[in-house]
Amino acid sequence: MGYGSLYFPSMTARIQLSQPAPATPHQTLTLEFPVEGVALGGRVQIPGDKSISHRSLMLGAIAQGETRIQGLLLGEDPRSTAACFQALGVQISPLEEDWVTVQGVGLGHLQEPVDVLNAGNSGTTLRLMLGLLASHPDRFFTVTGDSSLRSRPMDRVIQPLSQMGAQIWGRQGNRLAPLAVRGMGLKPMHYHSPVASAQVKSCLLLAGLMTEGATTVTEPSLSRDHSERMLRAFGADLTVDPETCSVTVHGPAILTGQTIIVPGDMSSAAFWLVAGAITPGSDLVVENVGINPTRTGILDALQAMEADITLENPREVTGEPAADLRVRYSTLQAGQFGGDLIPRMIDEIPILAIAALFASGTTVITDAAELRVKECDRITAMATQLAKLGAKVEERPDGLAIEGGIPLRGNVVDSCGDHRVAMSLAIASLRAQGQTQIQRAEAAAVSYPSFNQTLAHLCGLALVN
């Protein structure tokens, strides 16, 4: 087995990543730092926003003309989206360049694929794509994903699509992939979603693009609005009522290809914001981060914990607000987080739990039961794995209670195959005494392929092969 090792010149800290062998496809990330951590400094660019990357590929595929995308996240999830739409007859340039081009086929012209569509580990790919597939009449599609995705509930989108007239079949009472879809002419509806979910909302809005009339989704609170912003940019007739948390799309629509610049992903930035906030002496700037108000719950939570985070150079990037975020080490205070804040930071709760480990008092997170149906059960995963590091974390049905100020000690932990768990554990290791080994560390590549290299860069490490 080969190794790529990252070392401080002083050899007082190290990061070592085992490369997978033919018989063992998983990586182990070994980290060891001084107990006080290593001051993080400098400026860092983060990957493009994953949510916007998915949507730019999808809307580009069903638009008329060419869509050009700069800053697309080159992680595994957007690659799954691109592969699915290529199988549906859309020409997409290789996801290796600064600019990616999509030659749109126009709404209603996705081809019937000759093979099963594979969404990999991406719930966004599968759930949003179902809205488009179900509304393409006279075509038959089969869709699946990896073992994790095949265990995640799809009925939250299948049920409302079925009310619109969709025909979808799946395992366990049409709940789980693999799924079979017969495209139909759908009818509009007003759906009252029981949860605030951008994936449910976006799926139904995409289905409504080819449906005669008004398709409306009402949520209990506002979920992220990347779909609404991008649909408007592509020319859809869409209205939003913030008072009732309702969005309406009027179909049938005609979309036109656009030029899209993808800002940095707040979910990726959150790891460095917490790393800087908990590590003495840190002062770093995370550049070009999307600060869409529906995504800044983690900023609100960290600032409520008295983290020293400031916004610099605010601007707008193709309809999305962005800024540089400066974070400096500070003494954190525990917080109570729940309610409408949770949908605005649902993906960042694992790394918020790491911040809570270094806050004075007990942090309580509630109303986050959605975490149990992510890439893994993130509530159980974080409670179990942090306990291995010596933390005191109480698992609750809809969240966590985390006691701050307990010294961490290195141990062998597991990502549970979840990218956000893997990266959160790596940030926790910055302040753990002794060596931490993270098993199945390759999961980070789903949304942040260069995470380990960026961690090394921010710590002043040099890569040694």
pLDDT band at residue 394 using 50, 70 and 90 as cut-offs: very high
The answer to whether 450 touches 73, Cβ cutoff 8 Å, is no
Which are the catalytic amino acids?
A: 347
Residue labelled with tokens 């989206």: 81
CB 167 within 8 A of CB 314: no
- pLDDT of residue 338 exceeding 60, the answer is yes
Q: Look at residue 456 in the predicted model and tell me its pLDDT.
A: 83
Cα 432 to Cα 435: distance, rounded to the nearest angstrom = 8
Please name the residue that has the structure tokens 């590549």. Answer: 445
**Given this chain, do its domains 3-48+263-464 and 50-261 carry the same CATH topology?**
yes
Give the mean pLDDT of 223-242.
96
Exposure pattern of 187-196 as b/e (b: 16+ CB <10 Å)?
ebbebebeeb
Distances (CA, A) of 215 to 24, 205, 245: 48, 7, 14
4: CB partners within 8 A, 6+ apart = 16, 17, 19, 463, 464, 465
User: 436: which strand partners?
Assistant: 31
Rounded-to-integer distance, Cα 145 and Cα 152, Å: 10
CATH number of 50-261: 3.65.10.10
Domain range list for the chain: 3-48+263-464, 50-261
- Bridge partner list, 14: 7, 32
pLDDT tens track for 210-228: 999 999 999 999 899 999 9
Q: Among 303, 387, 413, 398, which residue's Cα sits nearest to residue 352?
A: 303
- Report pLDDT for 414: 97
pTM of structure:
0.87
DSSP assignments along 86-100, one per residue: HHTT-EE--TTSSEE
The string of pLDDT tens digits covering residues 154-170 is 999 999 999 999 999 99
Name the one residue in this structure whose structure tokens are 């994903």.
145
Task: Give the closest residue to 294 by CA, choosing from 209, 228, 369.
Answer: 228
The pLDDT tens digits for 273-309 are 999 999 999 999 999 999 999 999 999 999 999 999 9
Is 3-48+263-464 in CATH node 3.40.50.1820? no
